[in-house]
A and B are shown apart, each in its own frame.
Chain A
Amino acid sequence: MKVSKIIIRVLTVIFFAIISFICLFPFYVLPVMGSYTTEELMKTLPFWFGSSFFENTRTLLQSNFLRTYGNSAFVTIFSIVGSAFNSVLISYAITKYRFKARKFLEGLIVVTMMLPGQISTIGYIMEMRVLHLTNTLWPLVFTWLAHPFTAFFMVQFMKDSVPMEIIESGRIDGASEPRIMISLVFPFIIPAVSTISILLFMWSWNNYTLPMLIINNNDMFTIPLFVSNLISEFRFDIGGRMAALTWAVLPLLIIFAIFSKSFIKGIAAGSVKG
């Protein structure tokens, strides 16, 4: 009895160790490989950091990597602010006012959440072409401005977490509606806003397909485009590619390290309710 318990315990530990290793190894390999020159990598596969990471990074900087980083940051920041703004406002309208279109709007959000994004892709690209916005970063921002999931998430959250009494008391005190929203309601919804902001950060930062279809000017590349371009053009510069991937992945890892608790909680809460 006791021996079998120990065996089970040991096996569990081994099992967890293996899965953790499989999850972490690819992230470890990135900077390790990124810190060697390609010639070195052709000879042996390293398990510890080499000395060429900054040399590889310098090569990247020569091919506009900094600008790419700036583009990605621009797109991500505007997407987060715009999308969070829109979804907070509409969810506030849906949950805290009684008006004719209320049920319709709520239904619209739920139904459109099920549509695959590609269904609008071609039309969207043509629309951006007509508006002369291809090869600018704006189409990559616009695409997040009415995102059904973030709106849905905010609606669910506001329903449960913002008491109607607060709003009523604000009205009795004669506060204007914007004032009520900013100073009374906003403090309640900060956790949900940060959750959708992190989600939007992840989606926008990782977005590849739409930028690939809309942007073909190197100056407007975002990070996923830059990396993928690097791969097809310099297939054999493995060291440089790995260094680029390291830098591409790093901001997300940092954000995740800081906010992992609210991140995981947010994703889980959004789905458990939905």
Chain B
Amino acid sequence: MDKSIKIKKQSMHKAWPYLLAAPYVLCYVAFTLYPTFYSFFLSFFDWNGIKAMNFVGLANYRDLLFKDKLFWKAIWNTIQFMLLSVPIQTILGLVLANAVFSLKRTKRAFETVFFLPYIIAPIAIGSIFSNLFDWQYGYINEFLISIGLIDEGIYFLQNPTMTRMIIVMLQVWRHFGYCMVIYMAGMTAISPDIYEAARIDGANEWQLFSRITVPQLNNLTIFLIMTSIINGMQLYEIPKQLYAGTTTATGGPGYSAYTIIWKFINDAFANKMRLGYGAALCYILFVIILVFSFVSRRISNRKGADA
């Protein structure tokens, strides 16, 4: 082979990985990286997208953190939903995974049925349950009346406390099957020998579960909690759709269903068009998510060290 051709072939060989990575990288720069920086830039401006941009420095951040009461309300709501739903869905997922895993014929069926809520559009979930919990024409009131528990329909969605409970419940409903499926995948990786040895030593079912299964799945628990936190902070479509078209279409009764992203959409787009303000809000959300994941990682690491 001619030497120059060989060199050419080799340098071509060196260009290949860059060529292959280029479409992704270019798309990333164009559609994520640039907009991310542009959002950051905008967070220092007062701008509605049409009139001249007005530099305001850190005023957007200051107003959000110290003046905007609704911002704190939205954050507190979102964190509350998360703190209540994440433990329930994770534990329920783990318990069900443990129960379903040992089944033989029905294992796949349960896996599929429990996973179903996860694949459906959150917006559909919101409107289905908005119907089910309806005061006059909802199945849930109908059911409660028919078994004689109540005499007339409850205004589920017009009561702040019940609103919160319903949103937590929907989050659990949507995610427990996902947790279960992931735990079940983790369980296939645990060697049966460990259980065998423990059984010979006289361990009962509960001890097998708490001393072997749970610690072995520790990494998955961390993963599930981390992703649930990131997803939970972005809760928006379900609560929004629960109240779509009602008199409390923004935030539910007394803003009890108002979440951070809901506030973001409202402030940045719906009627106010405060783009800079919305951008600042997103960056604060980003910092909150970072703190949460950092803290949960620290806690889980310490736990890991103890075990």
Give chain A's interface residues, CB within 8 Å of chain B. 12, 16, 19-20, 22-24, 26-27, 29-30, 33, 41-42, 45, 85-87, 89-90, 92-94, 97, 99, 101-102, 105, 108, 112, 114-124, 126-127, 129, 142-143, 145-146, 151, 177, 202, 205-206, 208-209, 213, 224, 227-228, 231-233, 235, 238, 241-242, 245, 248-249, 252-253, 256, 260-261, 263-265, 267-269, 271-272, 274
Q: How far is the CA of A11 from the CA of B114 in the complex (A)?
A: 18
Which of these, B14, B39, B246, contacts A122 with CB under 8 Å? B39
> Which among B25, B41, B122, B224 has the highest number of chain A CB atoms within 10 Å?
B25
Interface string of B22-36 (1 = CB under 8 A from A): 011101101111111
Q: CB distance A93 to B17 under 8 Å?
A: yes
If the complex has contacts A123-B37, A271-B182, are A231 and B21 also in contact, measured as CB distance less than 8 A?
Answer: no
Q: How far is the CA of A122 from the CA of B286 in the complex (A)?
A: 14
Q: CB distance A264 to B245 under 8 Å?
A: no
- A151 and chain B: residue at smallest CB distance: B24
Looking at the assembled complex, report how far the CB atom of A206 sits from the nearest CB atom of chain B, in whole angstroms.
Answer: 4
Q: CB distance A119 to B25 under 8 Å?
A: no
> Which among B14, B24, B33, B234 has the highest number of chain A CB atoms within 10 Å?
B24
Q: CB distance B113 to A20 under 8 Å?
A: yes
Interface string of B122-152 (1 = CB under 8 A from A): 1111011101100001010010000000000
If the complex has contacts A208-B122, A231-B245, are A24 and B116 also in contact, measured as CB distance less than 8 A?
Answer: yes
Q: How far is the CA of A93 from the CA of B20 in the complex (A)?
A: 6
If the complex has contacts A97-B17, A146-B27, A272-B182, are A116 and B245 also in contact, measured as CB distance less than 8 A?
Answer: no
Looking at the assembled complex, report how far the CB atom of A98 sits from the nearest CB atom of chain B, in whole angstroms.
Answer: 8
**Which residues does chain A contribute within 8 Å of B283, judged by CB atoms?**
119
Q: CB distance B113 to A24 under 8 Å?
A: yes
**Which residues does chain B contribute within 8 Å of A19, judged by CB atoms?**
96, 114
**Which B residues, 205 to 257, have Cβ-Cβ distances below 8 Å to chain A?**
220, 223-224, 227, 230, 233-234, 236-237, 241, 244-246, 249
Q: How far is the CA of A19 from the CA of B177 in the complex (A)?
A: 10
Q: CB distance A202 to B119 under 8 Å?
A: yes
Q: How far is the CA of A224 from the CA of B249 in the complex (A)?
A: 17
Q: CB distance A86 to B24 under 8 Å?
A: yes
Q: CB distance A114 to B230 under 8 Å?
A: yes
Interface of B is mostly: helix
**Which residues does chain A contribute within 8 Å of B160, judged by CB atoms?**
none
Q: How far is the CA of A114 from the CA of B234 in the complex (A)?
A: 13
**Which residues does chain A contribute within 8 Å of B115, judged by CB atoms?**
260, 264
**Which residues does chain B contribute within 8 Å of A231, judged by CB atoms?**
127, 241, 244-245
Looking at the assembled complex, report how far the CB atom of B239 sits from the nearest CB atom of chain A, in whole angstroms.
Answer: 13
Q: CB distance A249 to B120 under 8 Å?
A: yes
Q: Does B301 contact A (CB under 8 A)?
A: no
Q: How far is the CA of A99 from the CA of B18 in the complex (A)?
A: 8
Given contacts A22-B173, A24-B113, 6 further A-B contacts (CB under 8 A): A101-B17, A105-B21, A114-B293, A120-B33, A121-B39, A213-B265
Q: How far is the CA of A114 from the CA of B293 in the complex (A)?
A: 10
Q: How far is the CA of A202 from the CA of B115 in the complex (A)?
A: 13
- B276 and chain A: residue at smallest CB distance: A122
**Which residues does chain A contribute within 8 Å of B157, judged by CB atoms?**
none
Looking at the assembled complex, report how far the CB atom of B197 sits from the nearest CB atom of chain A, in whole angstroms.
Answer: 24
Q: Does B49 contact A (CB under 8 A)?
A: yes
Q: How far is the CA of A121 from the CA of B236 in the complex (A)?
A: 15
Q: CB distance B39 to A116 under 8 Å?
A: no
Q: CB distance A146 to B31 under 8 Å?
A: yes
24 interchain pairs, CB-CB under 8 A: A19-B114, A26-B129, A27-B120, A86-B24, A89-B23, A90-B21, A93-B17, A112-B32, A114-B293, A116-B234, A122-B278, A124-B32, A206-B122, A206-B123, A208-B121, A209-B265, A224-B123, A228-B241, A235-B245, A241-B127, A252-B119, A263-B119, A267-B182, A268-B185
Q: CB distance A228 to B244 under 8 Å?
A: yes
**Which residues does chain A contribute within 8 Å of B116, judged by CB atoms?**
23-24, 27, 256
Interface string of B97-125 (1 = CB under 8 A from A): 00100000000101111111101111111
Q: CB distance A89 to B282 under 8 Å?
A: no
Q: CB distance A208 to B123 under 8 Å?
A: yes
Looking at the assembled complex, report how far the CB atom of B174 sits from the nearest CB atom of chain A, in whole angstroms.
Answer: 10
**Which residues does chain B contribute within 8 Å of A274, judged by CB atoms?**
223
